[in-house]
Structure 1
Amino acid sequence: MKKLVIGTRGSALALWQARYIQDRLLQECGVESRLEIIKTKGDKILDVPLAKIGGKGLFTKELEEQLLTRQIDLAVHSLKDVPIDLPESLVLACITEREDVRDCFVSYTYPTLDSLPKNAKVGTTSLRRSMQLKARRADIACLSLRGNIQTRLSKLESGEFDAIILAYAGLKRLNITHIPYIVPLSTTEMIPAMGQAALGIECRASDSALHAILENLACKKTALCTQAERAFIKVLEGGCQVPIGVHCTLIGEIETGKVQISAIIGLPDGSNILQESLSASTQEADICAKELAHKLIAKGARQILAKAQQFFG
């Protein structure tokens, strides 16, 4: 196969992810590639909360345009950023094994979330995280924190925030360990985002030879769980910039085991929250996810999500 062109965003974490795929392609498939850095809308607009600029594809649209014009051969995404509905001629050809799926509490001063002083300033980009933080500590001031991991950590170090919440996978991938308090939050304390900690590789639907190569990098267990999470989100017509958490766990083996899917929906201020879990056989993972979504809809999920949009006008 020709030397592939991998499209990626330019942050340290995005480059780590792209190089990880690049290395695996070479070592496991004997395929050479080079990286093409592409700036997305989400990278360019850093002074506005993500939920306010909203829409789908904040971190993927420009990479998809490069795929469609054949400027790149594949795009490496954080799976949680990939919209449910892709352009017709593109496919999510590979989902890699998940890193640690948890969010984590990060602080230079305070050892735990519960040790924060009253009215502490906590930085996060996520309505999902804000919702779950405020449900636990109504006094906390959840403030918008944009930028790459290094930018966010710099703002924490300078004292703009008492603590911040980040995906633990990003810190692990970049080997960030120097901060005094990095405390993972269990998935029962804070339900993660759809697809969190997995990578999604997108390419053209017509590139069947590339699909066959990418299958070597895929993780069936992660794909099973994340596809169920995406099925849940599809029913709710939500994206990564809405206050929804969903996490699918595989119990046992993929052929004979079962899945447990937990979800949370609420207002960003934590004032109205719905939370449910369901389990099913692995063969019925998507059906279970859709059933869970409909169960929450029956309890008012759509009304809550509509009201959540009003928080940003």
Structure 2
Amino acid sequence: MALSCAQALASTAGTVISNTATLSFDIAGVRHTVSSNTASLILAETLDVSVETDAPSGPVPEREECAVGFVVVNHGSGTETFDLTAQAEGQGASVLFIAGDTDGGQVYDAAVDKPLANSQLTLGSGARTHVFAVIGSDCAKAGTIRLRALARTGSGVPGTVFPGQGDGGGDAIVGKTGADTNGTVTGTNLRLLAKSVQPSLTKSQTVETSDGSATANAGAIVTYRLLAAFPRATTGVEIEDPIPAGTAYVPGSLTLDGATLSDAGDDDPGQADDGSILVGLGEVAPGTRTIAFKVRIL
């Protein structure tokens, strides 16, 4: 009688490791083989992240807008989405928004590098990317700027397990960084922006169905989010978005910064129908405003 075993090797989170053994034996001179049941497991995802500071670019004149460079690295074993938050600790300056390095140039370009939707960043295992914390006026007073990256799947004490929350339905395990880390940049490491920085608008979408999936089929609800970023005070602001063909606006779903707006053209800044949504903001202070609305696929 002899036993043999074959095992698949894996190192990527979500990979299924399967193991089946065979039993071989002789009966009356005839060779027989019987297979065992297959034992399978899903390789757990390790949650780890770091935030590194970018190279300095020299002193910053007073009253200049600027962008602070950071590098976010996913040290985990799977694909993970990180929530990013940034804060200027000095007096007289604030972080307007966090932008991604869209063109990979590693230098902030307001015409190209748009705000990250919901300030979230998704990276594959081992991936690294530049992001920029965009600061308003009085950059020279910003002092220390901190960028925090927090794994959406979970964080905490290293070794903490989140059952079934990893890639492929396996477990997720918090790594040595706690899946929650900060990077800091001082006021001498700021990248200058041109004073002609213009407002920008970034759009994202999510799909939900009655069965909980994200399949875009008839009856599904699509939520659109518009993130408007204003590096400086801006006047005469209006945001309009046509309702896509093949969909119908969901009445009462229009919101501004989380607050519901009426669909009628009345005292609040919004109005909506099956043709389009329109939000008139008028004069806007430096910062970001978020508009959301829903449509149903016909």
Q: TM-score range by the shorter chain?
A: under 0.3
Q: Which has the higher contact order (CA 8 A, sep 6+)?
A: 1
The structure with the largest strand share of the pair is: 2
What TM-score comes out, normalization by structure 1 length?
Answer: 0.24
